[in-house]
Structure 1
């Protein structure tokens, strides 16, 4: 709908016949597919997940009708079949998704059926995790507002998903920033088998948010086409003209079971099932068209016959479509990174003044923000006067680039990561740097959105990747204790789809950060915070220094033993190597820098030369990243080993606060030295 200055009030009498016919046709096609979907599963053709929308017809038709393709942004949920159809997808496109064909617009068969999308129209691929896309919608709305476009971001969900904490974070953030986003709650009274009374004390869940200052709440009958149309027209007008969020609560009914894996006969009475069928929106709409003599019975029957032909044609075409190629599973795990051609090995020999690691990060951020005006950064406690984060890494950035590009986020880690994902969907030229949490230990609330970022590229069949660099102050040796001294890379590396880097020196920190920001796709940038101000991590940093992903750096060459390390442990390993050197041993120290992707070539070449390997890292030995390194060497270089691969790391405990406890837990130079000495004499 392009002209919303004078909203049109829709009623059965005031709506033109052409529009009524279009709506009836869409509703009939949608319902025919909705009813047909379970048959595909019975015939072993597909559609193994189907959440029927029957009972949501009015609101879904309306949302699709007010959506303007390639301008507005749409984030649907798994019950939004009619929304997708009303927004412009064809019956064939819906069926291609349902039976998971390679030509499915949403994911090429990689994602669950009933997850409809068309990214080229800004109808985004969305998650199965109910309600989490509300954060993405907020991020897209932030971009709409920043770039001054007259558009709206739509987010659809069921009422039970509003119980999720990240939904509150989305609503709260949209309210605080006054963003043009419309949250549509399709309330059918059930979350699978859980009745609404077990979700919230409010009969209408939208009323839980009446205290929000800038958010307007609109209630409508989601079963009624006209009430839903009028509500959505007004919601879009308000969101677009006032640049403020709207919550539309649409009262619906769920006529069938939650999905084809649910049986509502187990928890709904016969009287309740009869009640909801009585309020079937499609049947009501058809009765209105006849009662007010807008159509004859013959005219509607003619449309219904045409619909049958549409479904039959779409079905036949979809069945002929190709299936996904099993060899394609490795496609679109990660996009190609920035090539880092200026320093292809990520090393330099320049001389000059050494700078500290924190200065290298700060200066690199400023340089990249000057280079690309579409770069943004936000996080907690990072944009207050002269302060820039808890460690001042971002100091001075807001003063130079302004509060619209550098700003504080609520203390809500999921919100920080989720809105970065959403904002990056607006335009691929956008680059976002976030402090995922003030300390790595606090990142766990954001893991749900981290996982979203990790498989967006693969799940969308290469159509979208969040161009986001997540910075985390990591590790111990500061006397921080729980929530301030852990390092979490051992848990993160098991999740494919995110690059993970962990520098030890100022030049590598600058080079990797530059490459991460310039690259497409998500990067987890882990910063050893105890080295921020440490003289031993200070180096010369060339202007525009680049470090490619997957390139380790040999910090010390040797022939008797290979030490694989990164982060804080790099310096401890170098100290141990120097001591061993004085005793006549030759130790090679390899600073991995990049954990994902990993420089296997450099590792294996060194193993073949020294024949003995020690892995030294700060994380726990049990379950730590060293286990993967050990397995890699055992599988690919076993015949070159003269001793078992040995690991040094933290004890299998949390990191304690008292410095006595911390010293007992974290690895030190002596532990690395002793382990190396043992390997030498094996």
Structure 2
């Protein structure tokens, strides 16, 4: 819509040409909505369809007020009319529904009824309803920072407000005064769960009435004109006042939640007939006739034209190609920054040594100076002279300012989700986040982590979050529960994210630099027990780079291959020296990078020594060492003279008392004992 706001939309002051376009849009959309289930019955596709009928007014209004040049739109799975009204064609709607390769949302990679057009800033969002509110807030943060005059619109049902990340998004948007419109399409149900079982308030938006810097608008989402006026007012308020708005639209859901739901099982016949009486399309048609804006024949002609539009779109969509199964590995992860300066990630520099924490801090500052579109936030990262729980970000806010370096609320989902959103604004943006003060506290962010991990694949390469997630990991600090656990094994099961775990200061600097210069997501695990340890201190060359997927042989040997990373590298090197005194020559491989994994270095060493042990801090059972062992057994079994030996933590939590911690975590003594067993096999 034009940025010039009308006085008020009424049946009398909207010209006939506009009303004809409106009615055409509403009728075509409804015909698509009603036709969708037939594709499933005919085994053509559209195996997931969430009918929007009853939401017509508000969805039409959202689309009409969306400006693809200045705004960002985050629709949910029921937003067919929203996207059609915003400009998607009937053919594009059907291509998504039947999952064709030419689907503009994601080439058939995502669930049907998830409409998007990333090139127009109509974003591809996941099925996790409401989680895209965080992305909308993140992109709004970028819009405000870069001075773009537009709004970020996010839409979903009222039941989604029960999700914690919706609360986090609204809380954050109101605190930061961000240009976001949160549209709540209230049809009274969350699938089969009635609204009174979701919230005590009759209107979910009123749960947020105490929030500062937040306006709440209510409208009749079944009425096109009331919805158009409410959207106009919401957008006007955001642009002029600079504060977010919740727009709650009262709707009805005429059909079942989706084609896998049967609403007759929980809605009686009276209610089902009742909601049909409030059909927004029928109401709009009655108004056009009542106020003599159109005749019956004129409306019939528009309806016939709409039928032709849908039929033509159907014919074209059926001829479109299906996705090619050979492309499944495309867009899992983007190509990283090449890091050609040190192709093996090894140097011979001399000079003063830096501690691990100093190397990370120094690299962060250097990259922030190099790229002005770099940002960092997280819990406790920028408060006066403090720079996080371990002072890794010390001095950064003082140098780069509070708009680029700031502390976030204690809300891990918000930290990750808004990073995803902010990176959507421009591909040049690079974001570093402290995902949690300790890696163990990262679990609340896992929903956003999983969602972000497949953004690149799901969108068919149209969007990838460019962010580095820093996590202080591991034990040996007497931290106990939530302060000493390892999570890299669990994270590695999720494709689409690089995971690196340096031990020494130079590797930390080089891998962090490569991560911050790369497109895509990288988890940067930091062995916090070594932050200030002299054992991890090294010389760090200027502009040092370490490529992803390049292991480093820390000690050459001929008898046993020992594969490790993180804290246990220090203990492994110590154990190797003790074993050498007894005539056992151990080759120690420092993985540095878990995903991607340097199989070539591992297998080459196995073929040389014929005996292997894998050492890591995580639990032996289901730890990442299981994957390494499996690879060796599958690809180098013929070279083994003994089973692969694994050393790690016991299958228990890590205890707080140092006596318990020592019994649970691996150490040099345990590694030596295991190596002797292996050699004696």
Q: TM-score, normalised by structure 1?
A: 0.99
**What's 1:432 paired with?**
431
Q: Report Cα offsets for 1:366-402 as digits up to 9, x if no partner.
A: 0000011000000001110110001000000000000
Contact 1:70–1:120 under 8 Å retained in 2: no
Give the CA deviation at 1:71. Answer: 1.7
**What's 2:23 paired with?**
24
Contact 1:70–1:121 under 8 Å retained in 2: yes
Distance 2:508 2:439 in 1: 17
Give the CA deviation at 1:7. Answer: 4.0
**What's 1:385 paired with?**
384
Aligned length: 681
Contact 1:55–1:280 under 8 Å retained in 2: yes
**What's 1:13 paired with?**
12
Q: Report Cα offsets for 1:342-370 as digits up to 9, x if no partner.
A: 01111101111110000000000000000
**What's 1:523 paired with?**
522
**What's 1:490 paired with?**
489
Distance 1:612 1:8 in 2: 80
Q: Report Cα offsets for 1:36-95 as digits up to 9, x if no partner.
A: 000000000000000000000000000000000132000000000000000000000000
**What's 2:120 paired with?**
121
**What's 2:654 paired with?**
655
**What's 1:262 paired with?**
261
Distance 1:455 1:48 in 2: 21
Question: What secondary structure sits across from 1:283 in the alignment?
Answer: helix
Q: Report Cα offsets for 1:627-656 as digits up to 9, x if no partner.
A: 000000000000000110000000000000
Question: What secondary structure sits across from 1:114 in the alignment?
Answer: coil
Distance 1:334 1:148 in 2: 31
Unaligned segments of structure 1, at least 5 residues: none
Q: Report Cα offsets for 1:291-327 as digits up to 9, x if no partner.
A: 1011111111111111111001000000000000111
Distance 1:352 1:489 in 2: 33
Unaligned segments of structure 2, at least 5 residues: none
Distance 1:608 1:243 in 2: 64
**What's 1:403 paired with?**
402
Distance 2:422 2:656 in 1: 38
Distance 2:123 2:493 in 1: 26
Distance 1:583 1:656 in 2: 33
Matches within 5 A, 1:537-576: 537-576=536-575
**What's 2:663 paired with?**
664
The answer to whether structure 1 residue 312 and structure 2 residue 316 are counterparts is no
The answer to whether structure 1 residue 144 and structure 2 residue 147 are counterparts is no
Contact 1:145–1:243 under 8 Å retained in 2: no
Distance 2:2 2:141 in 1: 21
**What's 2:679 paired with?**
680
Give the CA deviation at 1:243. Answer: 1.6
Runs of 4+ in structure 1 over 6 Å off: none
Distance 1:19 1:272 in 2: 34
Distance 1:310 1:222 in 2: 26
Q: Report Cα offsets for 1:111-154 as digits up to 9, x if no partner.
A: 10000000000000001001000000000100010001100000
Distance 1:474 1:398 in 2: 24
Q: Report Cα offsets for 1:188-222 as digits up to 9, x if no partner.
A: 00000000010000000000000000000000000
Question: What secondary structure sits across from 1:447 in the alignment?
Answer: helix
Matches within 5 A, 1:58-73: 58-73=57-72
**What's 2:332 paired with?**
333
**What's 2:499 paired with?**
500
Distance 1:225 1:267 in 2: 29
**What's 1:473 paired with?**
472
Q: Report Cα offsets for 1:238-268 as digits up to 9, x if no partner.
A: 1112221100000000000000000001010
Matches within 5 A, 1:616-631: 616-631=615-630
Q: TM-score, normalised by structure 2?
A: 1.00
The answer to whether structure 1 residue 177 and structure 2 residue 176 are counterparts is yes
Distance 1:78 1:360 in 2: 45
Moved more, 203-212 or 11-20: 11-20
Question: What secondary structure sits across from 1:330 in the alignment?
Answer: coil
Computed over aligned residues only, the root mean square deviation of the Cα atoms, in angstroms, reads 0.6
Distance 2:635 2:239 in 1: 58
**What's 2:239 paired with?**
240
Distance 1:238 1:59 in 2: 18
**What's 2:455 paired with?**
456
